[in-house]
Structure 1
Amino acid sequence: MKKFRFAGALVGAVALVGLANSPALAGTDVTVYGQTIKTGCAHSSAGHFASYGEVFTVYDECTDGMDAVVKVDVAPYQSGGGYDFAIWNPNGHDGSPVTSNRSYAEGTGVCLQAGVGEYRSGEWGNWGSWSCGTA
């Protein structure tokens, strides 16, 4: 009987060592683009979620006089077009992105939608498609 207990304990210890040495679950990055309002621009804005570190970045992709904005919906997802927060890049098309560092549990779903607007008035539109990743 002692042999079986020892064997069981040994198997359990080996399993724990294997689990401790396994890599963390990898998340899924996501990039979204807002619709353009100016000919000659492929996109008006872009948003990126980097799963490692949970960093959001918003880029103004076109010199169109509008500000870039990204809506973020974190699981559990909002219904009826809702979202949890928005990140604006009011810097204009000067090449400087805006970043927002957050913290979520591994495996948490994160969805983004990029658009354009006017930061001061809060008006926005020209939304691209929603796309989702995981932390």
Structure 2
Amino acid sequence: MRLARVFGAVVATAALILVSGSPAHAGTSVSSWGQSVKSGCSSGSHGKFEDYGEWFRLTDTCADGWSAVMRVDVAPYQSGDGYDFVIWNSNGSGSTVSVNKSYAEGTGVCIQAGLGERSSGEWGWFGYWTCGVA
């Protein structure tokens, strides 16, 4: 019986050491889907914010002649329809552009994916804003 108690204490202590040595992670990843302008495509673009490592990924999901675009707003949020920066993917359908940033843990991040033409600056067909936490 005594050996079982000692073994149990050793296992519990080892578990506490492992947990205390692990970094805290309490963020939230999110996705935004841009609207489609072509029948047969359910969306024109797919934007993602991955909270672990603060990665932004933007995929062109439809061969429609438009580039994928994503607006990003980072706390403190811009007023009105403001945003902090834009990510473009002009590499064609099926391609993904990845951008890495660094934010303090707990920072709010909102994304909105859409379609556009980078050379003219014309854009639209945005989906909903979705917000996560770094």
* Same fold (TM > 0.5): yes
Query: What residue number does 1:122 align with?
Result: 121
Query: What residue number does 1:46 align with?
Result: 46
1: CA distance, partners of 2:23 / 2:90 = 38
2: CA distance, partners of 1:41 / 1:119 = 21
SS of residue matched to 1:43: coil
Which residues in structure 2 correspond to 1:42-121 (within 5 Å)?
42-93=42-93, 95-121=94-120
Shift of 1:23: 4.4
Q: Give the TM-score of the pair, scaled to structure 2.
A: 0.83
SS of residue matched to 1:40: coil
2: CA distance, partners of 1:92 / 1:25 = 34
CA RMSD of aligned residues (A): 1.7
Number of paired residues?
Answer: 118
Identity across the alignment (%): 61
Unaligned runs of 5+ in 1: 1-16
Shift of 1:25: 3.1
Shift of 1:20: 4.8
Shift of 1:96: 2.2
Unaligned runs of 5+ in 2: 1-16
